[in-house]
A and B are shown apart, each in its own frame.
Chain A
Amino acid sequence: MAKIVAGIGSSHVPSIGRAYDQHKQTDPAWQPLFDGYQPVKQWLAEEVKADVVILVYNDHGTEFFLDRYPTFALGVADRYQIADEGYGKRPLPEFEGHAAFSRHLANQLVADEFDLTLCQEMALDHGFLTAMPLLWQHSDNDWPVKVVPLLVNVIQHPLPSGRRCYKLGQALKRAIESWPEDLRVAIVGTGGLSHQLNGERFGFINEQWDQQWMQRIQTEPEALADLSHKEVMTAAGAEGGEVIMWLVMRGAMAAQVEEVHRFYYAPMTTGIGLLALQNG
């Protein structure tokens, strides 16, 4: 049966993508970031060896418009394109999906009372793209892992609650583990940590809150799942509300987890967090 072999929390920031594409890996301002991801990239390549990654992300007004905005949406395709967010497409290879596994997840999750929007086509923006090349080494044409994109609405309120996201993760765990074939599955929750890109409070960061988040999500995820959006956005900034996507990842992991690696860097306007977990 399928097995969850890694749980990762990772921020998504467009400037990281630009720095990657412009080969700024040894730029003094960016080197700490790329170095910070390296141990996890190595762990994933040498030990985890996932066949497929379920990556929980949000679209940023790129592929999904407000005319009909899904609360949760799951990719069920064989391929996923790179989106143009206004600057042209990033020079990354397209992603290979795992449609049969996606269909299984869709069937199980809907039966488990999560009524997802199901997508045969999805172009992926920086919400999805930022973490991928930091965690997996791609070639010019492909990636070493197949992907299943799972979108959460974090841009137009009402957002799903943190509790709902945590429960989605728990349902995802049941769905994954009911896949009969051997399959090594990694799950990545993206977004956060603290940041605000809205209004006069633009640039707000709360490093102490971010550090506590990365600790507490390991030992007391239920308490984090009970935080209201207002509590999170007040403490971690309006766009810090994205951290509910980490709770999808955490809900899919075992009650007891072990920290493999943790990294934090807040150079500009986002508390960039990376947390790698394995089931205890």
Chain B
Amino acid sequence: MTDITTDTHWGIPGTYVFDLALSQQGYAINKMCNSLKTQANRDLYLADEEAYMTAYQLTEAQKDAIRQRDWLRLTQLGGNLFFFLKLAATLGYGLYQIGAEMRGESYEAFMQTRRVAGAV
């Protein structure tokens, strides 16, 4: 797990502050996700995820986090949520599914923590 940036100087629990070091580490992830702003690229991604990830030179750990849809690990590896939401949209995952996974909860359990769960 040497490829995880341990965010110590901010000292905010459960938080991976997207600074320049993390941004550099996750650059390939975010560059790939940034390309998914067009339907043509989203179609290409869905047609062959492995080839698309390889074309953007993701590391094996980054590819594996995406294969597992492990959004917390992707964050730890430098993926920025605002970029990987485009990947999530391509794959049919919503923000609150991602959030529940990051918290280590089921979607249903997470939604029970919200004040007005109908506002989605």
| Chain A interface residues (CB < 8 Å from chain B) | 14-15, 19, 27-30, 33, 60-62, 65-67, 83-88, 155-158, 196-203, 230, 233-234, 238, 266-269
Contact = CB atoms under 8 A, between A and B. Distances in A.
Contact of A65 (B31, B36, B116): B31
Chain B contact patch, size range = 35 or more
B99 A233 contact: no
A200 B14 contact: yes
Interface stretch (B16-24, B51-59, B60-68): B16-24
A156 B20 contact: yes
Interface string B82-120: 110111111000011011001110000010011111111
Given A29-B118, A198-B15, 5 more contacts: A65-B31, A156-B20, A198-B18, A230-B10, A238-B12
A19 B119 contact: yes
Contacts of A268: 96, 114-117, 119-120
Contacts, number: 134
B86 A61 contact: yes
Interface of B: 10-20, 23, 27, 30-31, 33-34, 36-39, 42, 72, 75, 80-83, 85-90, 95-96, 98-99, 102-104, 110, 113-120
B15 A196 contact: yes
A233 B16 CA distance: 11
Contact of A197 (B81, B86, B87): B81
Contacts of B23: 66, 156
